[in-house]
Amino acid sequence: MIRTGQPQALTPRAALLFVNGFRALLLLVLLLMSLLPSSDGLSLIEGGRHFYLWSGVYLLLIAMWFLLREGRLGHTLQLTLAIAADIAMMVLLMAMNEGIRGGFGLLLLPYLAAAGLLSTGRYALFYAAIATLMLFGYAGMEHELGLSHTADLSYSALLAAACFVTSIATWQLGRMARASEALAAQRGGEIANLNHLNELILQSQRDAVVVLDEEGHLRQFNLQAARYFSGLQRGQLLAELLPLVRRWQLNGYPALSTFVEHSVRGRQLVGRLVPVPVPEGELRGVVLFMRDMADMAEEAKRVKLAALGRLSANIAHEIRNPLSAISHAADLLAEDEADPARRRLMRIVQDNTRRINGMVEDVLTLGRSDRVKRESIALSPFMAELLEHFTMAQPAAAGVVACRLPDGCKLRFDRGHLSQVLGNLLANAWRHSSRRPGAVQLQASVAEDYLILRVIDDGPGVAEAEQSRLFEPFFTTESAGSGLGLYIARELAEANDARLDYSPPGGVFRLTCHLAYD
């Protein structure tokens, strides 16, 4: 996760820019000092025109360093050249202002400190060694010219020692700062990853999760909570849950989780109130885990239906073999039976065994609904083949079914499942239609990434009182039906990431599935 508003690490390029800015500021201060007189009327900086020539050269060097910052020279090489030039310029300035006694040699220390912060240990000692050599070189030159005093060599030695101490100390500080920065970056990355993980865990919760402080202000929530409380925003006062927080406060802020039940906008929510442990003196808070009782009942219903489906599949598998034996025996008895009454009884046995076998096949199909092999299916050829098979089974339906399909349209579905779903819908539509030409219609339309198939008949449709139970297993309005057709059709649709709905008024069933683009 990327967090804004935090200070960024000091890069080598930015560090060189910072040092260059310090050089420009120091030069400006020296120029101002050259314009101000001391108490004896002389300038604070000696050198006259030589000083201004020195300032011009130093200004040119500053401009060059600024251009080098954007160039291709390595960071260490740039820093080494820059610090060496700074040391030389500061020694030259010291020579123009009473030598080592003038005090300008102390200006070497800020440059060595900056170099120590930006370099490794051996380079920091190397820069201090450069400063020491230039200082002693200048002291030796003064001694040869007879311009030095007895104490100048001692002053030079002390300043050289100060250069080494400054370089070593600042290098250690820089090393510690870089280690701390790396550790902080590592910890920051770990914290960001942990926050991201916590967010994923929070959003994956099936319960609605709401975090409130003791004043009732919202601190955190997940998508499930947004379903129950519209327009949630962090920091807002969630008045609908404030009574639960007040009850927790009146009970003396108990540390144990408690069962809660609360009605919100017509939803009966149940769950737990879990206090958030905080250090003494900080603002307390609670986490509410809640679920809608209607959702819980629906989930329990799905679990029950899944268990019933597995049980029914096992029973159907056990029934299938003896049922086949009964059917075969009835066929053999009917072949040799001449008595019309007994033949009619045999036909009743055969009809009922076929009916039971159909129910067994439906139940076994339901048990295989999870075996999905989705593929790209061209709609028009598939519908033509489906209607051909349907009219072969129902010859009277020839010319009754009208199709309106978009050209070149493809959908993603298991071919066998799609045949069974649409075959079931066509059979229902044919059964309830007037059976006149165009009484049954197959229509298709495209909406964004979805294909919407509609199977329409001109019948009266499903009564309003029965619509809520239409897709329940074993629900049927016909004495000859098993009540599994529409239930299995919806299960197969959902197994293919599609949805089957009834769209009143009239007999309209709508199958919404994904388009295929390959």
In this prediction, residues 456-475 reach a mean pLDDT of: 80
Q: Is the pLDDT of residue 364 over 70?
A: no
Q: Which long-range contacts (CB under 8 A, 24 or more apart) does 240-248 make?
A: 240/264, 240/265, 241/210, 241/212, 241/216, 241/288, 242/216, 244/273, 244/286, 244/288, 245/212, 245/214, 245/215, 245/216, 245/286, 246/216, 248/273, 248/275, 248/286
The fraction of the chain above a pLDDT of 90, given in percent, is 3
Cβ contact 156:139 at 8 Å: yes
Cβ contact 228:264 at 8 Å: yes
38 vs 119, which has greater pLDDT?
A: 119
Q: Is the pLDDT of residue 191 over 60?
A: yes
In this prediction, residues 163-180 reach a mean pLDDT of: 84
CATH, domain range 374-514: 3.30.565.10
In this prediction, residues 151-167 reach a mean pLDDT of: 81
**pLDDT attached to residue 308:** 66
Degrees, nearest 5: CA angle 177-182-183: 95
In this prediction, residues 382-407 reach a mean pLDDT of: 86
Nearest to 212 by CA among 126, 122, 128, 274: 274
**Paired tokens of 17:** 């820019």
- 65: how many CB neighbours lie within 10 A of its CB? 21
Strands (E), 214-284: 218-221, 258-264, 267-276
**pLDDT attached to residue 198:** 78
In this prediction, residues 87-95 reach a mean pLDDT of: 83
Fold of the 205-294 domain? Beta-Lactamase (3.30.450)
**Paired tokens of 112:** 């060595």
C-alpha 430/C-alpha 441 separation (Å) is 10
3-state SS class at 274: strand
In this prediction, residues 104-108 reach a mean pLDDT of: 81
Domain spans, the chain: 12-183, 205-294, 297-367, 374-514
Burial 400-436 (b: 16+ CB within 10 A, else e): bbeeebeeebbbbbbeebbbbbbbbbbbbbbebbebe
**pLDDT attached to residue 75:** 65
Least confident of 168-177, 350-359, 408-417: 350-359
Q: Model confidence at 27, in pLDDT bands (50, 70, 90)?
A: confident
